[in-house]
């Protein structure tokens, strides 16, 4: 199927898609971007979020170019924070979400807009069940890396036992040898986060029934993993799903994701960065969920200071009280602290020389796409595995290691920053970062590996 707004297949059919996202910023962003890619190629997309998120998001300067509809998670007034437990939230989301999704599909049918397929976040397998009730094709979209999904799939099948044995080497076809510390935190100990760990493992309970499995990655980045898993899971890559301005620039006016749960003031960041020399700034950000201890926040703060570099540090309002007293004042000539920022704009600024990151998959993929070297400070969930690949496989960064108290000390942080920023030691890392950035852009550009996969899926839907 050719690129272009409003194009249809040779048989005159317009493909109607429902895209259903999990209600968290890190899940919304890539699925929304994938939806824009589908829309740009001619599909009629309806994006589906929970009522709570729809009613409480700040206004966006670039809203999605297609309708946004809602379903209920059973917590319409308070969202996830109002749930009594993680498990309770997901149980009610499955119950109420299934019913309200059925209602939405029926309303579309009654209006003469029959849905052809449902694209859904893989952590919500109940969406597939609802889709099949209506005879719809289904696309399971995985927001984490192919490698992490491969690990979770092996756990689901009982081929990796939880908890993984300390110091045991884990071998999976297509993957490098992994230690316990390289595995996702959910399987390092017995069910440390009841509700979340169950969700990521059980997303494979009906995966064989999905018509397509797609992942927000690109073939060149994880081709060995994909080849190793193809006899068990036929997963296709359709990423990186970041705004087109930072990749192929084929979608007009596409600079941000368009559905932000946090307020931001980009003007302050941009003005500050504009006044700094090229590749001189350390950007530190730990995503929308990661929570650091008071001790770790203190070590990170003074580690940034000891690096003797300029730094821009995103400290969410909920974390601000953990910043050492008078730290901002002591570093005012070199640092800027902000509660949130538009990360892609910051990463792509020429003054950025290094990204201190928790290695959430979206942040990792954004840094890879733009070509920014990383200092990896993983906290939980998939971040430990992502950090392994960043440092040892893709070689685009260094890992700041924990001490015996499981804290990354300030000297370690400063040393890692200096290693990446140094004109000699960091040369290979920066060269690798540039290489992956070029490959990422090529993957989503015309006839790239990810672009071809999207075309193939749409062509199959049109031909039905």
> Average pLDDT for residues 66-80, to the nearest whole number?
95
Is 211 tagged catalytic? no
Each residue's pLDDT tens digit, 127-142: 999 999 999 999 999 9
Please give the mean pLDDT across all residues of the chain: 92
Evaluate if residue 405 carries a pLDDT over 60: yes
Mean pLDDT, residues 307-322 taken together: 95
pLDDT of residue 423: 76
Q: Is 257 helix (H, G, I), strand (E, B) or coil?
A: coil
- Considering only residues 351 and 191, tell me which one the structure prediction assigns the higher pLDDT: 351
121 is catalytic: yes
Question: What residue spans in the chain does CATH classification 3.40.50.2000 cover?
Answer: 16-250+445-463, 266-439
Instruction: State how far Cα 45 lies from the chain centre.
Output: 21
- For the cut 50, the answer to whether the pLDDT of residue 267 exceeds it is yes
pLDDT of 192 above 50: yes
Q: Counting runs of H as helices and runs of E as strands, what totals does the chain give?
A: 16, 13
Q: pLDDT higher for 447 or 194?
A: 447
Give the mean model confidence (pLDDT) for residues 213-221: 98
- 64-74 CB burial, b ≥16 within 10 A, e <16: bbbebbbbbbb
CATH 3.40.50.2000 fits 16-250+445-463, yes or no: yes
Mean pLDDT value across residues 52-77: 87
Among candidate residues 73, 121, 382, 451, the one labeled active-site is 121
pLDDT band at 237 (very low <50, low <70, confident <90, very high): very high
The residue that leads in pLDDT, 57 or 381, is: 381
Q: Is it the case that residue 9 has pLDDT exceeding 70? A: no
Mean pLDDT to the nearest integer, 350-360: 97
Does residue 441 register a pLDDT over 90? yes
Q: Which residues contact 381 (CB under 8 A, 6 or more apart)?
A: 184, 185, 186, 196, 200
CA distances, 44 to each of 210, 234, 240, 259, 455 (Å): 20, 26, 21, 19, 15
Candidate list 27, 39, 349, 358, residue with the active-site label: 27
Taking alpha carbons only, the member of 193, 188, 190, 185 closest to residue 89 is: 193
**From residue 364, how far is each of 213, 335, 361, 436 by CA, in Å?**
21, 23, 5, 12
Task: Give the residue, 400 or 462, on which the prediction is more confident.
Answer: 400
Which 3 state secondary structure label does DSSP give 381? coil
Range 237-242 average pLDDT: 98
What would the mean pLDDT of 336-358 be, rounded to a whole number?
95
Structure confidence at residue 463 (pLDDT):
78
Q: Which CATH number fits domain 266-439: 1.10.20.60, 3.60.20.10, 3.40.50.460, 3.40.50.2000?
A: 3.40.50.2000
Spatial contact of 237 and 219, defined as CB atoms under 8 Å apart: yes
The pLDDT value given to residue 377: 97
Q: How confident is the model at residue 383 (pLDDT cuts 50, 70, 90)?
A: very high
pLDDT range class, residue 8, cuts 50, 70, 90: very low
Mean pLDDT, rounded, for 342-361:
96
Summarised one tens digit per residue, pLDDT across range 158-170 is 999 888 877 778 9
């Amino acid at each position: 199927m050719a690129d272009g707004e409003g194009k249809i297949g040779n048989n005159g059919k317009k493909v109607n898609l429902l895209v259903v996202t999990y209600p968290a910023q890190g899940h919304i962003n890539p699925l929304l971007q994938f939806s824009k890619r589908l829309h740009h190629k001619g599909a009629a997309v309806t994006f589906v979020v929970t009522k709570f998120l729809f009613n409480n998001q700040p206004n966006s300067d670039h809203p999605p170019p297609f309708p946004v509809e809602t379903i209920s998670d059973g917590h319409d007034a308070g969202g996830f924070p109002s749930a009594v437990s993680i498990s309770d939230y997901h149980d009610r989301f499955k119950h109420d979400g299934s019913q309200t999704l059925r209602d939405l599909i029926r309303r579309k049918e009654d209006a003469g807009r029959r849905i052809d397929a449902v694209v859904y976040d893989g952590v919500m397998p109940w969406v597939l069940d609802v889709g099949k009730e209506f005879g719809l094709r289904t696309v399971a979209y995985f927001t984490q890396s192919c490698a992490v999904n491969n690990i979770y799939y092996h756990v689901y099948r009982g081929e990796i036992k939880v908890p993984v044995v300390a110091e045991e080497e884990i071998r999976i076809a297509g993957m490098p040898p992994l230690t316990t510390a390289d595995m996702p935190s959910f399987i390092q100990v017995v069910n440390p986060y009841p509700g979340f760990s169950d969700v990521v493992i059980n997303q494979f309970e009906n995966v064989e029934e999905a018509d397509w499995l797609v992942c927000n990655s690109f073939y060149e980045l994880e081709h060995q993993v994909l080849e190793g898993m193809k006899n068990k899971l036929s997963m296709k890559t359709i990423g990186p799903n970041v705004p087109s301005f930072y990749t192929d620039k084929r979608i007009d006016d596409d600079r941000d994701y368009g559905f932000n749960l946090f307020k931001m003031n980009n003007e302050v960041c941009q003005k500050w960065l504009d006044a700094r020399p090229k590749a001189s700034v350390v950007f530190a950000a730990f995503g929308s969920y990661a929570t650091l201890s008071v001790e770790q926040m203190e070590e990170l703060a003074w580690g940034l200071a000891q690096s003797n570099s300029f730094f821009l540090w995103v400290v969410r309002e909920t974390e601000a009280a953990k910043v050492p007293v008078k730290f901002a004042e002591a570093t005012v000539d070199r640092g800027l602290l902000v509660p949130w920022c538009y990360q892609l704009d910051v990463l792509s600024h020429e003054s950025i020389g290094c990204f201190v990151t928790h290695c959430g998959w979206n942040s990792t993929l954004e840094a890879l796409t733009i070509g920014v070297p990383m200092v990896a400070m993983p906290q939980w969930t998939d971040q430990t595995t992502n950090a392994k690949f960043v440092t040892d496989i893709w070689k685009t960064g260094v890992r700041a290691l924990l001490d015996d108290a499981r804290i990354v000390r300030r000297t370690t942080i400063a040393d890692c920053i200096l290693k990446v920023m140094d004109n000699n030691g960091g040369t290979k890392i920066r060269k690798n970062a540039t290489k992956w950035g070029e490959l990422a852009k090529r993957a989503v550009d015309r006839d790239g590996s990810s672009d071809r996969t999207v075309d193939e899926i749409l062509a199959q839907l049109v031909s039905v």
